[in-house]
Amino acid sequence: MPLMAYSPLGQGGRLLKGKTLAAVAKQHHATPAQIAIAWVLRQPRVIAIPKAGVVEHVRSNASAAEIELTKDDLAALDAAFPPPSEKEPLQML
């Protein structure tokens, strides 16, 4: 069963302000948003639907699927953004 990543960049892009995303993005000559989307898409059968208000954002978001994150990248991102330890309600966007 496919899984949809609900707001993969965080409400209002709040996840994009993290230092880890910026560091990994710099290594890949990408944006923090592209890295966040690539991180979500690394899992099989996961669909990410980030907001894209203009065509350039759509293209940028789509190119995230081409980014190959290293084991070190994944470890850093997993440490910076651990899964919740208990159930959390979804925020309304």
Distances 7 to 26, 27, 36, 40 between C-alpha atoms, Å: 23, 24, 11, 11
Supply the pTM of this predicted model. 0.82
Neighbour count for residue 7 (Cβ, 10 Å):
18
Region 69-85: mean pLDDT is 91
Tokens linked to 13: 């892009």
Alpha helices (runs of H) in the chain, residue ranges in sequence order = 19-28, 32-41, 55-63, 71-80
**pLDDT, position 20:** 93
Tokens describing residue 90? 């979804």
pLDDT in tens, 34-74: 999 999 888 889 888 887 889 998 999 999 999 999 999 99
The token pair that represents 45 in the structure block:
């059968």
Q: For the segment 15-24, what is each residue's pLDDT rounded down to a tens digit?
A: 788 899 999 9
The reported pLDDT for the residue numbered 56 is 92
